[in-house]
Amino acid sequence: MENTQLPSLVRRVFQYRDLETESTEAEYEAWRSRFMRKRLRLGLWIALVAFFSSTLLQLGNLLFQTHEFRPDWVRSQVAIEISLLVFLLLQRSSFGRRYPSAIFLGFYWSVTIIPQIPYTLTGSAEPDILVWTLMFFGQATLIPVRWSLHLISQLGVFAYYLGLNTAVGVQLSTPADWMSPAVLALYFFWVCFVGDLSVYLYESLQKAEFKARRNLEEAYHKLEAEQKLSESLLLNILPQSIVERLKSEPKTLADSFTDVTVLFADIVGFTELSSRISPPELVELLNQIFSEFDRLADLHDLEKIKTIGDAYMVVAGLPEDREDHVQAIANMALDMQQAIASFNANTQQNFSIRTGIATGPVVAGVIGIRKFIYDLWGDTVNLASRMESHGIPGAIQVTEDTYNRLKNEYLFQERGLVKVKGKGEMKTYLLTGRKVEN
């Protein structure tokens, strides 16, 4: 069976990694597309302003230096400016958002090829070293994405200059006598090579940085999730105020509380039942009962301290003070009696709980360095435990001090004197109900 499961497990692992890689690639492509659109918009505006300033210069020549005015240049520049405006509008459209590469190529070729059209029409063409070089290097630094796109745009320029002009019989010339075709070819080769190489290196660096940043964000989110899980587990053990104090002061914590109420409850007959049913069934029954007690503790805003076997301990009045701590525990005890009755009706069991309550001062805190819990110490804790152990199954036994605080609001039955270990005879009472609904 293990041999058949192992390949399946391996496939799932590698499939997960493939999906993770695909997700990263898709996110990078989306980021690169957004980056390209932003840079394209910036590049188009820069080019538009640059050509417009040159047009203004020519208009100045027309007004003040007529001999330097070049109408053919103005016509070419105005054509370029119109094309740039068109691409700016397209760049903001759904087409531009979907196909930024088409806008890039249109931008590139409008600046480099439109000025060549008049030369083609006159039958004599020469390469524009200044404009082409500015475009080759400018685009590589301003829009450094997709080196292959830069290469295509460069090849398009040379295809027009060499291919189309040659096809229609245009005479090709060099900008200067000393610049032979071989020198010109070598010059543009290195200009294009350096531009494309810089884009390739920049893009590789950006991709690595994007993946590293994404991995860092994922690691941070995982760490944050682990911290939340750890804190959630810690809050299941300790009160929130104690957790906050332990974070800032990781040492032994102990506080004195002058007036709290402690409840102990024990499930009668549970030990005997353990000899008749299987351990898993026993634990499941206990979990159902204590889960309901936990819900009641949350309902009454009480602090659950611990469970010991089939005993349950809860306290009111700490770690935050509250005036109604005695009433809160009394309500909890009565609701626990109802909860166990409902449980018996639903499961056909015959459990009862023996409950003890005491009120007074305690010391509460966290001790030790491993498997620590928030615990209570003091005579009040011992009294509550004795009220439970010396109590009656199905009854809630309280001390005289607790009775005096509750007698005006709750119903009691006087039990009389009970001999309590370590205390001698004590007068105790049995809480039976509420005089009015709280």
Residue-wise pLDDT for 43-64, tens only, equals: 899 988 988 888 888 888 778 8
C-alpha of 217 from chain center: 8
Q: Look at residue 32 in the predicted model and tell me its pLDDT.
A: 85
- Mean pLDDT over 402-416 rounds to 91
The pLDDT value recorded for residue 325 is: 92
292: pLDDT confidence band, cut at 50, 70 and 90? very high
- For the cut 50, the answer to whether the pLDDT of residue 101 exceeds it is yes
> What pLDDT, on the 0 to 100 scale, is given for residue 2?
42
Third-level CATH fold of 246-434? Alpha-Beta Plaits (3.30.70)
Gap between the Cα atoms of 305 and 315, Å rounded: 7
Question: What is the pLDDT at residue 21?
Answer: 55
Q: Is the pLDDT of residue 207 over 70?
A: yes
R_g of the chain computed on alpha carbons: 43
In this prediction, residue 10 carries a pLDDT of 41
Residues 20-47: tens digit of each pLDDT: 556 677 888 888 888 888 988 998 999 8
* Residue closest to 129 by CA, chosen among 146, 142, 115, 118: 115
Please state whether the peptide bond connecting residue 239 to the residue before it is cis, i.e. omega within 30 degrees of 0.
no
Taking residues 383-403, what's their average pLDDT?
91
Helices (H), 126-180: 129-142, 147-158, 165-167
Domain coordinates in residue numbering, the chain = 2-219, 246-434
Percent of the residues in the chain that have a pLDDT greater than 70, as a whole number:
88
Q: pLDDT at position 155, please?
A: 94
Give the range among 8-12, 187-191, 253-257 with minimum mean pLDDT: 8-12
Identify each DSSP E strand in 32-72 by its residue range: none
Q: Output the CA angle 260-409-327, nearest 5 degrees.
A: 25
Given a cut of 70, whether residue 16 has pLDDT beyond it is no
Query: Could you tell me if 255 and 242 are in contact, meaning their C-beta atoms sit under 8 angstroms apart?
Result: no
Provide the pLDDT for residue 22: 61
The pLDDT tens digits for 255-291 are: 788 899 999 999 887 777 777 778 888 888 888 989 9
Residue 159 has pLDDT above 90, yes or no: yes
Regarding pTM above 0.85, the answer is: no
Beta strands in 227-295 (DSSP E): 253-268
Average confidence (pLDDT) over 131-135? 89
pLDDT in tens, 294-348: 999 999 999 888 888 889 999 999 888 889 999 999 999 999 999 999 998 888 8
Cα–Cα–Cα angle for 407, 412, 418, rounded to 5 degrees: 110
Average pLDDT, the chain: 84
Give the model's pLDDT for residue 11: 47
Helix (H, G, I), strand (E, B) or coil at 171: strand
Would you say 263 and 333 are in contact if contact means Cβ atoms under 8 Å apart? yes
* pLDDT band at 4; cut points 50, 70, 90: very low
Amino acid 282: pLDDT: 82
Q: Write down the pLDDT at residue 279.
A: 81
Report whether pLDDT(12) > 50.
no
Nearest to 77 by CA among 127, 120, 125, 131: 131
